[in-house]
Structure 1
């Protein structure tokens, strides 16, 4: 659709923006795991999709290195290669996977097989929709006040489904919560009478505007109280076949790596120039990377390996992109999916949840299509994103062995993605934005521990491992065996007393660490693969899974993992959970 010349590297580069028009065979064993593909609309027996892509490549492909980085967009936001990789003559590919058509993933109105779509910095994929299918979901409104309409959001983006009848709230239930603890204990308030609220597109209860676009909003007769949480259980319509977006990512990567032309004779602009491919995603898109491998999508429809390497960065779970009513934007707040089934690589028992032994690599090990994997993360992934289940399982009694094709690197005392590297005793007064649905800001200064050094080193290490077979450095992360992974209590951690801004009450179980919840999503849901149709809404919590945390030194800084200057020569206490 468009070509742009780039600068900043030692050889000429250009970008190509376009769309891929694909078809899925719903009877192919590689596609049957896609939830609702058997119910999706078909043309000539096939299920179609349209996905955007963005290529960064040398103008002269004879000078390309042979490596393609297939970057996973984060909530539609494009990620692509930077000048350092262009100076190594690598190729970058970004392509759409998230098909919920909300927020930054919204499909343009002119996205068809005929009309051109203007280039943008976001990727999208148009997946099938099951029209006239309904079901129930949960929406939550947090920290809102006043008489004005308030949105039903998930991680700042709209919940991607419309009410079955936005002009009538019959059958919906709006309740208030007065208090919730991190471990799932809820103090309920009152139920708001249906006569006292309505779906709206904006305005107020007395002067609402109709629902025409996302986000869907609520208008309350007496307005919202910021000291209360508002939880809505309501019927929605027209679910997306989200897993088709995962398959689209597979197919686009496989095409640009392997094919000379498409079915209509259009030439592959990267033909015969790609020998290796690496899938890379950060945070939500890192969760997608783990989800992609778990579903066996690293094998294409011709049986070939799609990505030779994989790099999930700061990713503690699998994304919810293959269930009916899935919300891929979720961040594991209450009643959000993402921690279902195995979060660890190799097959391992799941005794607490009573699931059969399984691992993320099960399917690719069977087909011999597993990539070489580097995973990097820090303290925020432990405390907020529930990472340690992937290290010690649901029973938290033993370290799970790391497979030979995986390297794990933990950056101690670091926040999500790392800080700005400030090393002064008087850091700037940086306000920390808390993740989640309108949670507000933090109370302490931003943690400066940077991830840049580790990320730069691992970028080259993974590249050399994939292209040259050079082993990366040994894995480094806190473990039970080394006594650097302990119970999440002040005493077990060895956290010092008297650190300003850290009262002992923070370490109470109900306040300190986000655990994994074992939900009962109902009989139509596969708890191991996180596929199917969740019918229990909201789901009962069957178990609160035990978390573990890194032990700390006398300054309160974490032990284990990759050493950093800030930890080894600290100017203070660096909290990964700040």
Structure 2
């Protein structure tokens, strides 16, 4: 049907009004400011057919509509100051490494979610990285650059220190409608592994210096009953600092202090989720900002991926759960996600008086809102809380779900209840969602430890390095997203195949126990086994937890219901059976674990947080028998050095065939075995 000239004019006018009044309400990056360009960077190093890279540093400025349905999920956003358009503003650091000639790049974005402001550039690229990678040496082998990825980072963590090239974000302080300070309960877990610390800085200023409105307790070990420190034993040094008195008294080494008080002036920390959403959306879809500044990647990005390690992996868990993988025009933000060391945990970011730098392990930070339902991806009802939710709920509704790899070390199963990622609340196996796969890097600690150092632990730390598997799995993730090639099947402990060992909660304790016999752990001379494991409890943070407002902090986990979690069964050496068994586990020269215990001067037999253990085998049968060690010696296993190298070679070929390591990384394992002193 033809429209009259009048009707066409009226329709055009209506469209102009619609655009003029609705577009500014969309959350987005309104201005991008590139403050420095280094072209080329990495001293002009050439990356295969891709050529040289350039580095862009700058700031991005964003606006959020506090009334939009997506942004309403951010606690206190409606109490944040607004600009003349009624929008809430924020600013963040940005950092981009891109091919100088984008046309011959691979048109894919590799977004690395920074860890407390710091970049994790080195692991993927086999370099020392640094927080401002610049030299050819810092580019390392250039794993990502050789394939043509554009790499990007943005600030999201309002607690990140603005130093050492960290990425930061500036978010507003929330205020009551009359402009007065918002106050509420806050909690600090305090423990120094030294005897010299004299003060402790609070995350937020106290609302009152009246000591009777705050409580400080202390205990030496996690299982001890806390004792209250009298008002004559501590004081406020400022509204954000406490200290013991008389002045100059240090906090007791490795003792556990807990401080509860009334804080004021919360920042709207949850804006960090929207900042990443809008930054990636801008790079992927926009041509320019509101001021005409060009998007440096305009028209280039076809696929987007994220990589995160530890704290940012927990951030990405919540990023998905809260629906931030959908931008405000209902478009997918990230196509593929590789999470490493996040466990089944959340991050305490989307709360009033948030402390995103905190993380719970079997000795630390138990009473923060990290281990909260939902843990898994499918939508289900939690029998403990009665809530129905799942990490996939919001993206399923908007058809914006990414492909996801959840990869964890043994440490995450022992100290962060990672099994809840792929089970229901009672510990029953769940089928893998169509878009998610799960992998355990067997026998690894949280990151790579120094096997010549004990740190605060009883045994030497575990140097099993999962980065070779991370690289291979990232290629598999890319193939899954861009080519539809199915990835390797999940490799985790399961009840259904008998590789899972259930942790038993201990009534009144903040941890549970894995029985030694059920695990299959051998009795090794000089090695203490307690079975200590983190247990997730349903904690009471008050009735407004879902709105991100914590009205109370639990004082303990005593008499609280718990979720069922488990770890991998071990073989007769104490090495894990389930998961991806890299050569150090498949062809062992030691028992490697994801758990460890503290030594005497640091809280003996409490959990040693992220550390694991490396407990070497004896070289000969005679040495083993003399030590009463039940584990076979190196000589009994491999007979000769060449026998050891052959065993490593067979393991490498199997892992390459399974797509769990790349050929070039496999060759490095073989070369390392050849150069080793094993049975020399």
1:69-117, Cα deviation, whole Å (9 max, x unpaired): 11111011123474111111110110011123xxxx1358xxxxxxxxx
Contact 2:236 2:242 in 1 (8 A): yes
Question: Does residue 218 of structure 1 match 2:243?
Answer: yes
Q: Secondary structure at the match of 1:342?
A: coil
Moved over 6 A (4+): 144-148
Question: Does residue 16 of structure 1 match 2:56?
Answer: yes
* In structure 1, C-alpha distance between the alignment counterparts of 2:448 and 2:196, rounded to whole Å: 39
Matches within 5 A, 1:498-577: 499-504=524-529, 506-507=530-531, 512-526=532-546, 531-539=547-555, 541=557, 542-577=560-595
Please point out which of 182, 194, 217 is paired with 1:133: 182
Structure showing greater radius of gyration is: 2
Question: Does residue 429 of structure 1 match 2:455?
Answer: no
Distance apart, 1:472 and its partner CA:
1.4
For residues 475 and 329 of structure 1, do their structure 2 counterparts lie closer, same or farther at Cα, with a shift above 3 Å needed? same
1:457-486, Cα deviation, whole Å (9 max, x unpaired): 112111222222222111111100000011
Partner of 2:273: 246
Partner of 1:6: 41
For residues 485 and 79 of structure 1, do their structure 2 counterparts lie closer, same or farther at Cα, with a shift above 3 Å needed? same
Contact 2:367 2:556 in 1 (8 A): no
Distance apart, 1:240 and its partner CA:
1.0
Distance apart, 1:196 and its partner CA:
3.4
* In structure 2, C-alpha distance between the alignment counterparts of 1:21 and 1:419, rounded to whole Å: 39
* In structure 2, C-alpha distance between the alignment counterparts of 1:374 and 1:178, rounded to whole Å: 39
Distance apart, 1:178 and its partner CA:
4.7
* In structure 1, C-alpha distance between the alignment counterparts of 2:284 and 2:196, rounded to whole Å: 54
Question: Does residue 194 of structure 1 match 2:253?
Answer: no
Distance apart, 1:298 and its partner CA:
0.4
Indicate the structure with greater strand content. 1
Contact 2:232 2:245 in 1 (8 A): no
1:445-465, Cα deviation, whole Å (9 max, x unpaired): 121222122112112111222
1:130-149, Cα deviation, whole Å (9 max, x unpaired): 24111121223324776862
Contact 2:56 2:95 in 1 (8 A): yes
* In structure 1, C-alpha distance between the alignment counterparts of 2:254 and 2:570, rounded to whole Å: 35
Question: Does residue 476 of structure 1 match 2:496?
Answer: no
Unaligned runs of 5+ in 2: 1-34, 126-141, 176-180, 503-513, 596-611, 613-680
Distance apart, 1:369 and its partner CA:
0.4
Partner of 1:403: 433
* In structure 2, C-alpha distance between the alignment counterparts of 1:258 and 1:150, rounded to whole Å: 48
Q: Secondary structure at the match of 2:592?
A: coil
Question: Does residue 365 of structure 1 match 2:385?
Answer: no
Q: Which moved more, 1:7-16 or 1:235-244?
A: 7-16
Question: Does residue 328 of structure 1 match 2:366?
Answer: no
1:404-425, Cα deviation, whole Å (9 max, x unpaired): 11121111111112457xxxxx
Distance apart, 1:45 and its partner CA:
0.9
Matches within 5 A, 1:118-517: 121-131=165-175, 132-143=181-192, 149-152=198-201, 159-165=202-208, 167-181=209-223, 186-189=224-227, 191-200=228-237, 210=238, 216-221=241-246, 223=249, 224-226=251-253, 228-316=255-343, 317-332=345-360, 333-351=365-383, 353-396=384-427, 398-418=428-448, 429-432=452-455, 441-487=456-502, 488-497=514-523, 499-504=524-529, 506-507=530-531, 512-517=532-537
Contact 1:330 1:337 in 2 (8 A): no
Please point out which of 91, 94, 112 is paired with 1:53: 94
* In structure 2, C-alpha distance between the alignment counterparts of 1:144 and 1:286, rounded to whole Å: 26
Q: Secondary structure at the match of 2:472?
A: helix
* In structure 1, C-alpha distance between the alignment counterparts of 2:465 and 2:114, rounded to whole Å: 22
* In structure 2, C-alpha distance between the alignment counterparts of 1:57 and 1:517, rounded to whole Å: 45
Count of matched residue pairs = 512
Q: CA RMSD in A?
A: 2.0
* In structure 2, C-alpha distance between the alignment counterparts of 1:221 and 1:290, rounded to whole Å: 44
* In structure 2, C-alpha distance between the alignment counterparts of 1:546 and 1:445, rounded to whole Å: 30
Contact 2:491 2:579 in 1 (8 A): yes
* In structure 1, C-alpha distance between the alignment counterparts of 2:194 and 2:110, rounded to whole Å: 45
Partner of 1:116: none
Distance apart, 1:168 and its partner CA:
4.2
Partner of 1:36: 76
Unaligned runs of 5+ in 1: 109-119, 153-158, 201-209, 421-427, 433-440
Partner of 2:143: 84
* In structure 1, C-alpha distance between the alignment counterparts of 2:214 and 2:449, rounded to whole Å: 43
Q: Which moved more, 1:76-85 or 1:361-370?
A: 76-85
* In structure 2, C-alpha distance between the alignment counterparts of 1:61 and 1:27, rounded to whole Å: 38
* In structure 2, C-alpha distance between the alignment counterparts of 1:63 and 1:543, rounded to whole Å: 56
Contact 1:147 1:221 in 2 (8 A): no
Contact 1:315 1:381 in 2 (8 A): yes
* In structure 2, C-alpha distance between the alignment counterparts of 1:145 and 1:51, rounded to whole Å: 35
Contact 1:519 1:539 in 2 (8 A): no
